[in-house]
Copies of this chain bind each other. A is one copy, B any other.
């Protein structure tokens, strides 16, 4: 057994300076989602393991932390949130106003090999619309683009690769009946030769494999690609997918956001449950995993569409682009106490400031004034209130602002006006 004071591999400690970065991420996530009219919800960490066996793809269920609780239940730590969302939607279906537009920022858990952009505990934004009708695809995509923009990412910094599984599946149905989605999901990660080899291993002839390759390669600027694709969609399924994708792109164009997207038929997404729209967002430089991904799926019998955005790839991208701001302590005042004789009375000064809503810290340790000022400077506070016997006798204190010469004497009852 490990030393009990060690951190578990793949988990993170967040010191206040680290947690401020996470809060910055969370508040950007919240701001954009609320702006799009999504409401935040939450779900348990502990769910029945069987729910993920039933709902999640095989790759994911292999990564689930599962165990038997003291009552013999097979439980799991949530590895994703879609199954919980579906469960909650089903349980409350009749009382919910439709469409349901929900987001959440849960911590999720996966037993993966820890590496850059992959941790065993991570935070993940989830944005979903259930029963949203034809407009839902476009709205969710627009929200995804705006999330990236909210962090300061420009058009040149990222691209969202969009497709519709129905187009790909419809087109491939003319070539083969074999389920090749898991191979196509690897399209970007392997070269042409390896891609063809993998398809042939699935039972396709070289000719079929080449045909699939040509379909997977289709992509580019949305308007042009949609025009080209229209003629290639030769069956009902593909055409239905085309119409959905066209509608989503028109909505994005209306928002002025279409340029952030590329159509890319090789995007199929690994997870089992997608039924229509599928998309993934990548930074344009470096070889990081996707920063967000999602698509359309079924919540019971209801149409749903959504995506997830993890914290670790996002933070890696933001750091490379220097888009993580300097975030200092949220402290407004430090109160320096000159001598123990004024210690109790200085509480009244602190109280006045806190009562007015200011964040106030003070010396707990009876240090000298010089040391208190050093400390205040070190923790990055701008203003120090100095409480001394002489000024207190006049119901006053001195205020020192770092970077400003001298000090001011202010009456306590005028401190917060």
Residues of B within 8 A of A75 (CB): 8
Contact between B46 and A120 (Cβ–Cβ < 8 Å)? Answer: yes
Which stretch, A129-137, A184-192, A405-413, touches the partner chain B?
A: A129-137
Is there contact, CB below 8 Å, between B19 and A42? yes
Taking the nearest CB of chain B, how far is it from the CB of A125, in angstroms? 15
Question: Quick one: closest B residue to A46, CB to CB?
Answer: B8
Check if A45 sits within 8 Å of B364, measured CB to CB.
no
Question: Given the complex, which residues of B lie within 8 Å of A354, measured CB to CB?
Answer: 35-36, 146
| Inter-chain contact B359/A13, CB cutoff 8 Å | no
Q: A53 on the interface (CB 8 Å rule)?
A: yes
Residues of B within 8 A of A111 (CB): 69-71
Digitize A44-63: 1 where CB-to-B-CB distance is under 8 Å, 0 elsewhere: 11111011011100000000
What's the minimum C-beta distance from A62 to chain B, rounded to whole angstroms? Answer: 9
Q: How far is the CA of A92 from the CA of B18 in the complex (A)?
A: 13
Query: What are the residues of chain B within 8 A of A90 when measuring CB–CB?
Result: 5
Q: Identify which of B4, B67, B360 contacts A54 (C-beta below 8 A).
A: B4
Complex contacts, A69 vs chain B, CB 8 Å: 65, 111
Q: Are B70 and A43 in contact (CB under 8 A)?
A: no
Of the candidates A4, A20, A73, A361, the one having the most CB atoms from chain B within 10 angstroms of its own CB is: A4
Q: Which listed residue, B34, B50, B133, B329, touches A2 by the CB 8 Å rule?
A: B50
Contact segment of A101-109, A207-215, A395-403: A101-109
Cα of A109 to Cα of B70 in the assembled complex, Å: 13
A6–B48 contact, CB under 8 A? Answer: yes
Please give, as numbers and ranges, the residues of chain B lying within 8 Å of A253 by CB-CB distance.
344
Q: Which secondary structure characterizes the binding site on chain A?
A: mixed
Inter-chain CA distance A44–B120, complex, in Å, is 10
Do the beta carbons of A358 and B19 come within 8 Å of each other? Answer: no
Given contacts A133-B365, A359-B37, contact A45 B351 (CB under 8 A): no
B135 touches A364 (CB 8 A): yes
Q: How many copies does the complex hold?
A: 2
CA distance A81 to B88 in the complex (A): 29
Q: Is A174 part of the binding interface, using a Cβ–Cβ cutoff of 8 Å?
A: no
Interface centre among A16, A133, A255 (most CB of B within 10 A): A16
Q: Which residues of B contact A15 (CB under 8 A)?
A: 41, 88, 92, 96
| Given known A-B contacts A16-B41, A120-B46, A364 and B139 have beta carbons under 8 A apart | yes
Contacts of A35 in B (CB 8 A): 354, 357-360
Shortest Cβ distance from residue A21 to the other chain B in the assembled complex, whole angstroms? 11
Name the contact of A360 in the complex, choosing from B36, B96, B251, B357 (C-beta under 8 A).
B36
CB nearest to A363 among chain B residues: B135
Which of B96, B345, B364 is A132 in contact with, Cβ under 8 Å?
B364
A235 within 8 A of B: no
In the bound complex, residues from chain B placing their C-beta under 8 Å from that of A250 are: 344
Bound-complex Cα distance A152 to B345 (A)? 26
Q: A residues near B, CB below 8 A?
A: 1-2, 4-8, 11-16, 18-20, 22-23, 34-37, 39-48, 50-51, 53-55, 65, 67-71, 73-75, 77, 84, 87-88, 90-92, 96-97, 99, 101-102, 107, 109, 111, 120-121, 129, 132-136, 139, 146, 250-251, 253-256, 329-331, 343-345, 347-348, 350-351, 354, 357-362, 364-366, 375, 378-379
Instruction: Offer 27 A-B interface pairs, CB within 8 angstroms, sorted by A.
Output: A1-B48, A1-B50, A4-B51, A12-B44, A14-B43, A16-B39, A16-B40, A19-B39, A19-B41, A19-B42, A20-B40, A22-B42, A34-B359, A35-B357, A36-B354, A36-B360, A37-B359, A45-B107, A67-B67, A67-B68, A97-B379, A107-B107, A133-B366, A134-B366, A139-B364, A254-B344, A254-B345
